[in-house]
């Protein structure tokens, strides 16, 4: 079964410096029917104005993934990490027992557009950690590239949960397939562009929960960027 979560049904927060769309309940947006999917708790599509950002704030017991679509995102945290994330790079921060961090748009001219993803960890009170890796376009073009996994295989980021996160860049007519093992679930998030998922149309910002499907087939109807979560 595939259930589409329409982009227009997401929560919306406009703070001047921040424009944020919430796939699941977050902050002031609360929908008891949209509290996440399996261990996937948050997918926020954020746009931050030049020279603005999220000031230092705490997190704990959460795996947080940042996926930049346009612009650059500057990260600093209480573990001593200082880095900048750009398109093609993925960041994982394990909040664990507690971490302070800030996210800032260092540009004076261009906004930063990114996805903020939260995954519930398999255990609480883990040691905080940080990881960032680049995934070249040629590794994602019309193919699924594993960018995060529990075991860090194939050069992916390591996350503390039984989740495989793939991403792909599809050109018009591009097609990828992913097999779901028995008892596994999926979530598909269209970051931009338009695709069909097992024949169902999806557009920018749409998400879809997947259960009871053996195979997922994504076909692009134009250039598209898609994230696919394989979930326990």
Q: How confident is the model at residue 126 (pLDDT cuts 50, 70, 90)?
A: very high
The whole-number pLDDT of residue 212 equals 96
Residues 176-202 have a mean pLDDT of: 97
Q: How confident is the model at residue 160 (pLDDT cuts 50, 70, 90)?
A: very high
Q: How confident is the model at residue 181 (pLDDT cuts 50, 70, 90)?
A: very high
pLDDT tens-digit series, residues 71-115: 999 999 999 999 999 999 999 999 999 999 999 999 999 999 999
The whole-number pLDDT of residue 90 equals 97
pLDDT tens-digit series, residues 27-39: 999 999 999 999 9
Q: How confident is the model at residue 6 (pLDDT cuts 50, 70, 90)?
A: very high
Q: How confident is the model at residue 150 (pLDDT cuts 50, 70, 90)?
A: very high
The whole-number pLDDT of residue 192 equals 97
Looking from the CA of 156 toward its CB, the CA atoms found within 13 Å total 21
Q: How confident is the model at residue 141 (pLDDT cuts 50, 70, 90)?
A: very high
The whole-number pLDDT of residue 93 equals 96
DSSP the chain: -EEEE-GGGSEEEE-SSEEEEESS-BTTB--TT-S-BTTEEEEEEEEE-TT-EEEEEEE-S-EEEEEEEES-EEEEETTS-EEEE-TTEEEEEE-TT-EEEEEE---SS--EEEEEEEE--SSSSPPPEEEEEE--HHHHBTS-EEEEESS-GGGPEE-SSSEEEEEEEE-TT-EEEEEPPTT-EEEEEEEESEEEETTEEEETT-EEEE-S-SEEEEEESSSEEEEEEEE-
| Interatomic CA distance for residues 109 and 55, integer angstroms | 20
Mean pLDDT of the chain: 97
Q: How confident is the model at residue 226 (pLDDT cuts 50, 70, 90)?
A: very high
The whole-number pLDDT of residue 67 equals 97
């Amino acid at each position: 079964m595939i259930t589409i979560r329409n982009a227009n049904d997401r929560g919306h927060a406009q703070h001047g410096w921040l424009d944020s769309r919430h796939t699941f309940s977050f902050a002031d947006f609360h929908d008891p029917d949209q509290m996440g999917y399996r261990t996937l708790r948050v997918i926020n599509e954020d746009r931050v104005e030049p020279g603005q950002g999220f000031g230092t704030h705490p997190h704990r017991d959460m795996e947080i993934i940042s996926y930049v679509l346009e612009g650059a995102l500057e990260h600093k945290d209480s573990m001593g990490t200082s880095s900048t994330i750009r398109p093609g790079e993925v960041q994982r921060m394990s909040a664990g027992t507690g971490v302070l961090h800030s996210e800032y748009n260092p540009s004076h001219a261009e906004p930063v557009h990114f996805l903020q993803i939260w995954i519930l960890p398999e255990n609480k009170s883990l040691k905080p950690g940080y990881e960032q890796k680049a995934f070249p376009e040629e590794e994602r073009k019309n193919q699924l590239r594993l960018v995060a996994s529990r075991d860090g295989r194939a050069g992916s980021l390591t996350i503390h949960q039984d989740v495989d996160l793939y991403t792909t860049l599809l050109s018009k007519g591009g097609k990828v397939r992913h097999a779901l093992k028995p008892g596994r679930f999926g979530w598909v998030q269209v970051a931009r562009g338009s695709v069909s998922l097992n024949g169902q149309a999806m557009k920018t910002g749409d998400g879809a929960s997947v259960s009871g499907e053996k195979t997922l087939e994504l076909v692009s109807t134009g250039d598209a960027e898609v994230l696919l979560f394989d979930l326990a």
